[in-house]
Structure 1
Amino acid sequence: MAADAVPNGHAAADAPPPSSSSLVFLGTGCSSAVPNARCLIQPPDPPCPVCSQSLSVPPELNPNYRCNTSLLIDYCRDEGAHKYIIIDVGKTFREQVLRWFVRHKIPCVDSILLTHEHADAILGLDDIRVVQAFSPTNDIDPTPIYLSQFAMDSISLKFPYLVKKKLKEGEEVRRVAQLDWRIIESDLQKPFTTSGLEFVPLPVISSTGFSFILFCYAFFLILYSYQVIHGEDYICLGFLFGRKSKVAYISDVSRFPPSTEYAISKSGGGQLDLLILDCLYRTGSHNVHLCWDQTLDAVKRICPKRALLIGMTHEMDHDKDNQTLEEWSRREGIYAQLARDGLRVYIDL
């Protein structure tokens, strides 16, 4: 496995070897992305160094410029054909396409996987049409999109025009993304295959509280039976994939169910070649995400060969904190670094 690099550690734009698979980090930031707009329109005293940097360093040269967390899998099949699979399409998807699809010469998206139905994972769905073939009559093959039933129910309310329905008499065809919605179960024993690559869904706990669907359900119960639902755990999906090299991608997590941690740990299902894991804050903790200390504790328990951290806020300074992680890596014997937008990692899948 190798990460491409140029001076200062920024992602290179070279085309990959024709027979190589790779992972492209389209986004490595939190839901609000980095820079945090508040730091720029209401500057703190002293100014936030990470956000201030965005005013003087172009985003493509700034490892602290982070879009919503998203991963593109460039899967080179045995016959040499490339398939492009993306995990999550958040609020910054269009920007990621313009910056990284162009730079890395990604022509399309063949399949989509969604971890959950929050804004930073799905609000780019409307822009999927820009990575599909153009047809004024929408006469194209829809892109398979894999998600949980819970996410499907929520998206049907948020994007009803993206959920295929028969046209009413006299209704005109609209140019929208064409999507083939496929429900997956959050069951480790039920993998699925898309674009030739097998994925194992990894259910993890991401938050506690109401989503929009649960709110509607609770309101229904209040009206009709005076009962409410409190403190429902929110299940988010990660994904395990790769036959030759094992990769686990877990972007939104606060704790692991025992079965999930066993499946991806060296002492359980076998050592991962790469763990891509949530890491929100540099200090303290958060009720819906792992933060620095909790993330590194999880990396030690799971014990992959390599870990790349994602989902960071503006508390994280890429170069400074990676120096700290280099010391941690030498001490613990596990390579760990913050990922960055545009990073391309070549890996044999």
Structure 2
Amino acid sequence: MDDLRDLQLYEHVDPGVRFPSGPINVFLHEATMQAVRLRFDYLTNPPVYLDEAKGVLERPISYLKFNVIEPNAVIESSAMDGVPVRALPVLHGGDYICLGFAVGPSGEFIYLSDVKEIPPETMQYLKDLPRIKTLVVDCLKMRAGNFAHAAFEEVREWIDELKPEKVWLVGMGCGIGDHDEANRIIQDEMGYPMVELAYDGLYLEGFRL
């Protein structure tokens, strides 16, 4: 949460710090909001302004606007520049609900970054899409066994069911092994040529948003 300030343009003024682009919108459901309030009260409390009209804060902390949504909400916000976004509840260990997102027209871009299990309602929504162009999905390691994160043994079952055109795996740990070797095993030995491990600096384009 603190590191979000590195994604914001701000300038030092005397005194204080000004954020000319305004706050970053954060979308989350109520249970997560309660947890964030406990751990980051200095971010969830009203910011300390030296000059609210000019957006000048007392110090350079992350400047955030929290938007509490329902787990299945369709987000309609100017922050999205008119791009439709639907929240997708998934389970991130036990009964903890984490939100994935469907971005753009139906099935254009599905993002499930922290998931151990896809609940039946979310799976049905994904299966009902006319196609899934790009799926970004959690994959800690090759073999299952982690409480909160999926492994490729589990992810491949979702791929078989949803048949996405392209899959990028994220959230890998050291257990995934060598990057290129893991890609070779998944694509050549296991027969999933559409699947690839993501990497720092990856840039995706060609979406209809």
Which bin holds the TM-score, normalised by the shorter protein?
0.7 to 0.9
Q: Distance in 2 between matches of 1:259 and 1:303?
A: 18
Aligned-residue offset at 1:285: 2.4
Runs of 4+ in 1 over 4 A off after TM superposition: none
- 1:216-235 map, 5 Å: 233-235=95-97
Per-residue deviation, residues 138-164 of structure 1 (Å, max 9, x unmatched): 443222111111111111121111124
> Is 1:199 the equivalent of 2:90?
no
- Is the partner of 2:38 in helix, strand or coil? helix
Q: Which residue number corresponds to residue 60 of structure 2?
A: 175
Q: Which residue number corresponds to residue 159 of structure 1?
A: 40
Name the amino acid aligned to 2:141.
Answer: Y
- Is the partner of 1:315 in helix, strand or coil? helix
Q: 1:284–1:165: structure 2 CA closer, same or farther, 3 Å change rule?
A: closer
Structure 1: 5+ residue stretches without partners: 1-124, 209-232
Structure 2: 5+ residue stretches without partners: 50-56
Aligned-residue offset at 1:204: 0.5
Q: 1:312–1:191: structure 2 CA closer, same or farther, 3 Å change rule?
A: same
Q: Which residue number corresponds to residue 206 of structure 2?
A: 347
Per-residue deviation, residues 83-141 of structure 1 (Å, max 9, x unmatched): xxxxxxxxxxxxxxxxxxxxxxxxxxxxxxxxxxxxxxxxxx22323323225444432
Q: Which residue number corresponds to residue 262 of structure 1?
A: 124
Name the amino acid aligned to 2:58.
Answer: V
**Greater mean alpha carbon deviation, residues 172-181 or residues 154-163:** 172-181
Q: Which residue number corresponds to residue 327 of structure 1?
A: 188
Q: Which residue number corresponds to residue 54 of structure 2?
A: none
Larger Rg: 1
- Among 158, 171, 175, the alignment partner of 1:311 is 171
Structure scoring higher RCO (CA < 8 A, sep ≥ 6) equals: 1
Q: Which residue number corresponds to residue 3 of structure 2?
A: 127
Aligned-residue offset at 1:259: 1.4
Q: 1:178–1:135: structure 2 CA closer, same or farther, 3 Å change rule?
A: farther
Q: Which residue number corresponds to residue 148 of structure 1?
A: 29
Aligned-residue offset at 1:283: 2.4
> Is 1:246 the equivalent of 2:123?
no
- Is the partner of 1:207 in helix, strand or coil? coil
- Is the partner of 2:204 in helix, strand or coil? strand
Q: Distance in 1 between matches of 2:47 and 2:103?
A: 35
Q: Distance in 2 between matches of 1:138 and 1:163?
A: 18
- 1:55-134 map, 5 Å: 125-130=1-6, 131-134=8-11
Report the number of matched residues.
Answer: 192
Q: Distance in 1 between matches of 2:175 and 2:44?
A: 38
